[in-house]
Structures are given as C-alpha cells and as structure tokens.
Structure 1
Amino acid sequence: MDPTENSQSFNFPDSTRSHGKARGLEGAQVPIAEVGEAEANATTSGAASVGRTLSSLQSAQRASSPPTAMGSIAGAPSAEASLNQANEVAHPESRSPPTPPQDALNRKVVDLVLFLLLKYRRKQLTTRAEILHMVVRDYEAQYPVIFTKASDCLRLMFGLDIIERNPRIHSYSLVHALGITYDGMQHGFPGIPKTGLVIVMLCIIFIKDNCVSEEVLWRILSNMGLYAGREHFIYKEPRRLITEHFVQEGYLEYRQVPDSDPPSHEFLWGPRAHAETTKMKVLRFFASVVKQDPRSYPFSHAEALRDEIERM
C-alpha cells in the first residue's frame, strides 16, 4: 500500500455544528473563537485530520480481528444484550439515563478545548470543579468522555498535554507535548499554539527514514487540508510557517537535494528537535495516533532504541 494514501482515521468526533465560544466564560475572549463558528468546527475536525494524516503514513495493515461465533452474523443481538433488554422491561427504574445527542457532546468538547486554550494563554491552572461549573454543567455524567476527547484534540491539533498538578483537588495545566518548548503563537494566526504541526512534521520525517522530499510532504499534509500557497485558518500560509519559521526556530532543516535538476528540496529534523525530544517519544506519539504498538514498526523502533542508548 502506498504509505501516502489514507488507510486509517483517528476515531475522533467531527462536530458539524459546533459553537465558536465556550459558554459561561463571562465574555472572556477565547482566541480561536474570534475567527468564527466554522473555525471552531475545525477544532474537532482538524484533530481528526491530523490523525488521518499520520495514519496515512503507516504501511503495515492492521490484522482484522476474527469474528466470534456469536457475533459473526451482522446485527444479531448478543445473549447479554437480550438479557439487558428483558431486565429494562421488567424493571424500568433500572434504566440508564438517556445519552445526550452526539452533536451536544461535540459542542461540549469544543467548549472545553477553547476554555483550556484560554487557560493556557493566561498561564492559569484549572480544576475539575471549575470545568464542571464553567463548561460541562448539565453533562456531568459525560464528563470523562468530554474530558478525554478534549485532551485528544489538544494533543493532536495543538501539541498540548493536560497534566494533573494536584490529584487531591484535580487541578490541571497544559504543557507542550514531547518536550517541545515552542508554541508558535506569534506565527500564523496569533494566539493559537502551533506545536501540534511541529510534532506532525517530526513524525513524518522520522517515519520516512529521517528525510522527506518536499513533494511527498505536501502530498501527505493535504490530508490535513494544508496546501502550499493556500491560506489556513490556523497556520495562515503553511509553506512559509514550515520552511521559514520552523526552520528558523531550529526544528527543521530544509535543504536542496544535491545534484537535483530541476532543483528540489527535502526536510530533516533540525538541531532543536534533536535537543528537545527523542525519536522514541515521536514514535510513541505516532503509534498512539494510528492505534499501533511502536514495535509494529521494527526498523523505526530499533533506530529509536539506538538513539535512546546513545543519549545515556
């Protein structure tokens, strides 16, 4: 399979009618909200596209799970499901509360992402209690799902991890993933972290044997809706962000391929990437997105192990 083709997609909800502002923020300006509802939509759909982009790199197909004897017929109810239905008829009081519509949950995920980005900009901690009061509110039963999906979105789209600072009161802060120290908020659309794109670039380069041609790179990034010369709502002109700012910051090396005619270019990790993160961290990030074990990529895993040993 062509590794530049899309083979798997990160299973993240695509909110098609998400709100652009987190309700209950008492008029606080959320940076991403300033660009409108369509862009807030892209908070979740953008996270999904990052997953699809990284998934398009994998060349190994996941083995399909063999069907069980009970579940091999599509649509056949299991014995457990039948018992559950019978119990609900006999004891209606035991029924679980109705699940909110998926669109409503998606909007809460977007609201929480925006709220946490605001906290990141202000360098403030937040707590579970504050999130429940300011954002989640009537969806407390779905808090674990909303929090997990918002965490996934922040990591994929913006390169930010949620860290629990105090388990006793469940306080949280956002930090850059994989040890990267750059957030790029002054580049592209101001005030929105670009660490996620840096990490995507490092993943692509490493999985592509530590060097990727410019032509192949843009073919892969097109899965994220990123095209050279075309404006993006977060990254503005992405080619400039990648070939100028990421290079100037030391995360990428952009060089002409020797003896190429006509001249062509390729990307490698820059010195700051080597200093701040490791190939193993990048491989584990990539593997977590495509739902694989890092050892599913034996050559990359072996190289990452050698890199770990050399750093000792």
Structure 2
Amino acid sequence: MHHAQDSQHCNLAEREGPQAQREARDGDRAQVPLAKKAEAAATAAMEVSGEGAQSSPQSSQRASIPPTVMGSILGGPSDEASGNQVEQREEPVPPVLDVLRPKISGLVQFLLLKYQRKELTTKAEMLERVIRDPGEHYSLIFSEASQCMRMIFGIGMIELNPFFYSYVLVTSLGLTYDGMMHGTQGVPKTGLMITALFLIFTEGNCITEEKFWSVLNKLGFYAGRDHFIFGEPRKLFTEDFVQEGYLEYRPIPNTDPAQHEFLWGPRAHAETTKMKVLEFFAKATKREPQSYTKMYAEALRDAGERA
C-alpha cells in the first residue's frame, strides 16, 4: 500500500476506534458485495410494498450493479460472528474486480477522509495517492468506489471541472445532515437515513416498526445489536434521526402490546422530495422511476402539492 494511503487509512481507524480498526483488517476478507446489498434492500422494499410484482425475476435486475469490495461494512465479520442467517444469492465476483479489491477499498477510505475534511479531490490525486495505475481500470475502480459512497454512506460526487476532473463530495438528495456525530462518530450515515425514508415511502408514507426491521435485517442491521461500523441502529432510527427531525417515531393507537410506526419528519419534507428518493433507489435497481407505478404517481402528486 502506498505510504500516503496507509497514513490516511490509519488516521481513519484511529478516529473511529477499535471497531473501525477491525473493519480495516477484515475488509478484504468480505465476501458480500456492498452495492448489491443496497440493491437487495431496494428490491426487498419493493416486494414488501407490492411494487416488485411488476417485474419478473429476470427483469428485476438483481445482478445489474457490479459487485464491490466493501461488503464488510454491511455484512462482513459481524454477521458471521453472530450467526445471522441472511440468505445470499450473489453471482460470482468477476476476476477483474477481485484483483482490484484493494484499490477500490482504498479509494473508498480515501474519499471518506476527503469528505470528513471537506476537501476537494481530483483524478490526478486519486491516481497518485491511491490507485497508482493510470491504465484501463481507473474508470471501473472510480465507478465502484463512487457507488459505495452513494448507496451506503449517502455521499455523492459532483464533478466541478471536467477538464481537470475535480470533484466535491456532498450529501445526497439535498439533505444537510450526515449523521457523523451519532452512532460511530466520523462515519457518514446519510445513506441509512435515505433508506429509512425510502422504506416509509414504499409503505404509503407510514411503516410499522416490525416491517421496517424485517427489511433492515436483510442488510445486516438488527435492533439492539451494535453494527460494527455504524453503531447501534435502533438508537439511530428511533432517537438520533428523530431528534434531527428526519423521522417521526410514534406509537400506534389501540395496540397491545404497544407497537410503533415510522413516518417522514418535518426536516425530511423540507429538504428532499419523494421523487428524489424514488429516483435514488430506482437507479440502484437499474429501472426507470416510472416502472414503479404507484410510487411514481405518489411522487408526482407530492411534486404538484409543493408547486
């Protein structure tokens, strides 16, 4: 590993404590492609809502997103150690991606540090500091790392200068909160919050806590059990995101024992739209937003009411 990259990687581990250090050691052993787990969440949510019935297994594009190498974040050692029985139907990782595993992983770590420091980056810097290979694989490495940043951490890359290939990293969907101060500090959690907003939307703008966790379990998140990167997820969803105004968590009347449900909070309504959330996850499943007929119609109504 390049000395500068190694220094950046160590600094990230030091900031985030022993759990992140374990992730850094175990990341290359992960077998579950990261972006495909995000796609699985989108597909699972569509199936729960009934939207997934519109497409056949062949057209659901389960294999549409290329596998990435950062699977440890959403289902690596913690799932194996706890004996979670999460069914995996993953296609074999193409040999070229397996070879590029360390460089994609290193680039994700590098981009996370750039985001934390609010610094721009360029193609030249990524090549020099991390990839160190100007050959034909740069586009694939960059694409895979960008997909991880977007789908898992909720961080998008915006090209500022097409001539110098300079980029700025920003939170997705216009959200102003990154969650870095909650759960495991230093790790952006916008992606988790976007997932929650999407699940609520799929269920007609309100989802029971039981159904919510049935989908999150497919991603390796379990209420009351620390996720070795993001921290304790139940607190994130029922307290931290609620306090920030992005989620509403309220009791369901006349339930015994008492049950709860999730809704969008006022800050979510103010900062983003249903159409943006739908487009975000439609891209993950390689489908057009219009193919999700009921959700698209709801998103159009929402846009009309905002006009």
Q: Is this a same-fold pair by TM over 0.5?
A: yes
SS at match of 1:163: strand
In structure 2, what is the equivalent of residue 30 of structure 1? Answer: 12
Amino acid at match of 1:168: F
Residue 237 to residue 39, structure 1, CA distance change in 2 (3 Å)? farther
Equivalence for 1:259 = 254
Long gaps (5+) in structure 2: 47-51, 60-93
CA drift of 1:151 comes to: 0.8
Residue 55 of structure 1 aligns with an amino acid whose one-letter code is T
CA deviations on 1:169-210 (whole Å, 9 max, x unpaired) are 111111000011111111111101000000000010001111
Shift in Å, 1:24:
3.5
How far residue 39 of structure 1 moved from its aligned partner, in angstroms, is 4.8
Which deviations, in whole Å up to 9, do the C-alpha atoms of 1:136-182 show, x marking residues without a partner? 11363100111111111101110000011111211111100001111
* Alpha-carbon separation, structure 2, partners of 1:244 and 1:202: 15
Secondary structure of 1:174's aligned partner: strand
Residues 42 and 139 of structure 1: CA distance in aligned 2, closer, same or farther (over 3 Å): farther
Q: Deviations over 1:202-244 (max 9, x none)?
A: 0100011111100011110011100011110122111011100
Distance 1:43 1:155 in 2: 20
Find the aligned partners of 1:165 and 1:311 in 2 and give their Cα distance.
29
Q: Which amino acid aligns with 2:285?
A: V
Aligned-residue RMSD, C-alpha: 2.2
> Higher mean Cα deviation, 157-166 or 45-54?
45-54
What are the Cα deviations for residues 18-48 of structure 1, in whole angstroms up to 9, with x where unaligned?
Answer: xxx8763262313476343225766974443
1:89-116 Cα deviation digits (max 9, x unpaired) = xxxxxxxxxx974322122111111111
Question: What's the secondary structure of 1:267's corresponding residue?
Answer: strand
Q: Secondary structure at the match of 1:261?
A: coil
Pick the aligned partner of 2:186 from 191, 210, 217.
191
How many Å separate the matches in 2 of 1:192 and 1:22? 23
Aligned-pair distance for 1:50?
A: 2.2
Query: Which of 175, 183, 198 is matched with 1:180 structurally?
Result: 175
In 1, the alpha carbon distance for the partners of 2:212 and 2:2 equals: 35
Deviations 1:107-143 (A, max 9, x none): 2111111111111111111101111111111363100
Query: How many residues get paired?
Result: 259
1:56 aligned onto 2:44: yes
- Tell me which amino acid in the other structure corresponds to 1:24: A
Q: Is the 8 A contact 1:44 1:110 kept in 2?
A: no
Percent identity, aligned pairs only, is 51
Secondary structure of the residue aligned to 1:24 is helix
1:153 corresponds to 2:141: no
Which of the two has greater helix per residue? 2
Change in 2 beyond 3 A, CA 1:22/1:229: farther
**One-letter amino acid of the counterpart of residue 124, structure 2:** A
> How far, CA to CA, are the matches of 1:22 and 1:123 in structure 2?
22
Contact 1:46 1:224 in 2 (8 A): no
> Structure 1 133/44 Cα, relative in aligned 2: closer, same or farther at 3 Å?
farther
**CA 1:43–1:23: 2 relative to 1, 3 Å:** farther
In 2 relative to 1, CA 55–205 (structure 1 residues): closer, same or farther, beyond 3 Å? Answer: same
Q: Which residue of 2 aligns with 1:213?
A: 208
Deviates more, 1:296-305 or 1:172-181: 296-305
Q: Distance in 2 between matches of 1:198 and 1:44?
A: 22
* Matches for 1:156-305 after TM superposition, within 5 Å: 156-305=151-300
Q: CA deviation at 1:286?
A: 1.5
Checking the alignment, whether the CA contact within 8 Å between 1:43 and 1:110 is kept in structure 2 is no
In structure 1, how many angstroms separate the alpha carbons of the residues matched to 2:30 and 2:195? 17
Residue by residue over 1:75-101, the C-alpha shift from the partner in whole angstroms, topping out at 9 and shown as x without a partner, is xxxxxxxxxxxxxxxxxxxxxxxx974
Contact 1:43-1:157 within 8 A present in 2 as well: no
Give matches, 1:8-157, under 5 Å. Answer: 24-25=4-5, 27-28=7-8, 29-31=11-13, 34-35=21-22, 36-39=24-27, 45-58=33-46, 59-63=52-56, 64=58, 101-138=96-133, 140-157=135-152
For residues 280 and 44 of structure 1, what CA distance do their matches in structure 2 show?
29
Residue 239 of structure 2 aligns to which amino acid in structure 1?
A: E
Question: Aligned partners of 2:242 and 2:2: how far apart in 1?
Answer: 34
